[in-house]
Structure 1
Amino acid sequence: MIGILGIVIIFAMVFGGYLAAGGKMTIILKSLPFEMMMIGGAAIGAFLISNDKGGIKHTLQDLGKVFKGVKWKPEDYRELLCLLFALIRIAKQSPVDLEQHIEDPQSSALFSKYPKIQADKEAVALICDTLRSASMNYDDPHQVEEVLEKRMEANLHHALHSSHALQTMADGLPALGIVAAVLGVIKTMGSIDQPPEVLGKLIGGALVGTFLGVFLAYGLVGPFAAKVKAVVEEDSHFYQLIREVLVANLHNHAASICIEVGRQNTPAHYRPDFADLEEALKSIKQEAA
């Protein structure tokens, strides 16, 4: 909703201000289809050249993040802490019972209580791979933390590809606008024998190309890239929370301490309230009993 509101404000303020100052939309509307074909078509072509099929698909999917916002909400962080608490308790009390959950998480009754987390392949893989490694005596906290850090850095780098692709397009749009404007000037020079009122319209049409390139770059595509980047970086906190809790577990802290370490390392705007989380953990203990 905020993304849509932002787009509406951009168009309203730019074109509303233009009209309020006495500008006329006729020349813009007349030139817009041709200028958009040149600038937009060239930008799309350059995007296709500089990205592979996977990158193109990834970028198109990530455009939805501009309007949907972050994937992980505050209640998801609370559920993640509850899931990790239950898994760590099982690992400490009965490692054999843990295997049924980490070897087949999609069929696990425990994971099934948290369907949104269960549906996220990377979150499930981080949890299961780390707990499985610990059960195989690969439990040096510092080594595991380093492995998880590198894994999450690689995942974040991949997730930010669409933001970089959009920003590259935004950086090129002003130059493409100049290209369109130059072509418009060439067209104008071919009609130099026409009266001033005709030349004025031709020059105005050429300048629409410059305007359109800058407007698309800084009014739409650039902000889209920034929003996608912000959303991806915000969602990465969810996976960092998994690392903090599981590394704390490798230090042989009690399950409740591991969860508190994770809660304290959760960004303030997502951090569960201590009392609410404690109540949720009590329910898990009662179910286990």
Structure 2
Amino acid sequence: MAAAGRSSPVSAWRRLQERIAPRLVAWPFPLAVLLLWYLGARFEWIAPQVLPSPAAVWATLLDLLRTGEIWGHLQVSMTRVFAGFAVGLAVGGALGVAMGLSPTFKDYVYPLFKAFSQVPVLGWLPLLMLLVGIDEALKIILIAKAALVPIALNTCKGIQGVPTRYIEVARVLRFTRWQLLTKVVLPSAFAPIWSGVRYGFTHAWLALVVVELLASSEGIGFLIVYGRQLFQLDVVLAAVVVVGIVGYLLDKALALVELRLTRWRRAGF
């Protein structure tokens, strides 16, 4: 019989399986796609000029990393996405808080906001090109718009979902409006608000690539267009791989921040 407080080898193995199994389940499909890609290039089911082999794409990616070309484009893209996301976070957060706290304000603003959110990023591109040109302002505005919508909606939803009893207790304690907002409402609505932040950053990253594909002379999106114009599909695919990896890592970083913040909040209670 195992000693009290000490897990048996069987239970430890089961916990290890529960931890590893979900990660293993995610691997077969991408590996199958990679194998199909390799076979298609190996047996030339598609012309090599159209579908370079994985080895050629990998070699091109290493060359771009070695020469530093990819780092220059990535730095430009990261600067744009963080600037646009910061604007979207500020405006979307303020708008979401206002709509969540004031039903009257929401009644006035929400219909127009809903119509605004239904227009995709590319729908605003022609108008904004006429108003602000094709410089950095255009890209930051479009990225901010992409981030603003999910942040505002999730912030509003989170605030409206705060239990009424929390508000009543705060009023009994005679909290000021600022104390009510910072000590009760925002902490209680943290989970949906942070979900909006993560969705907002994901949308901002996607909008960045789209904008750079259409109106840019540098950045990861421009590198994709540049490779297509020169019919260098290995460069295109290498840039696509970088876009996917960077987007995945950024989302994982936000997930780690969320985990750290939720641990802090649980410890605080």
Alignment TM-score, normalising by the size of structure 2: 0.34
Q: Relative contact order (C-alpha < 8 Å, sep 6+): which is higher? A: 1
Alignment TM-score, normalising by the size of structure 1: 0.32
Q: Max radius of gyration: which structure? A: 1
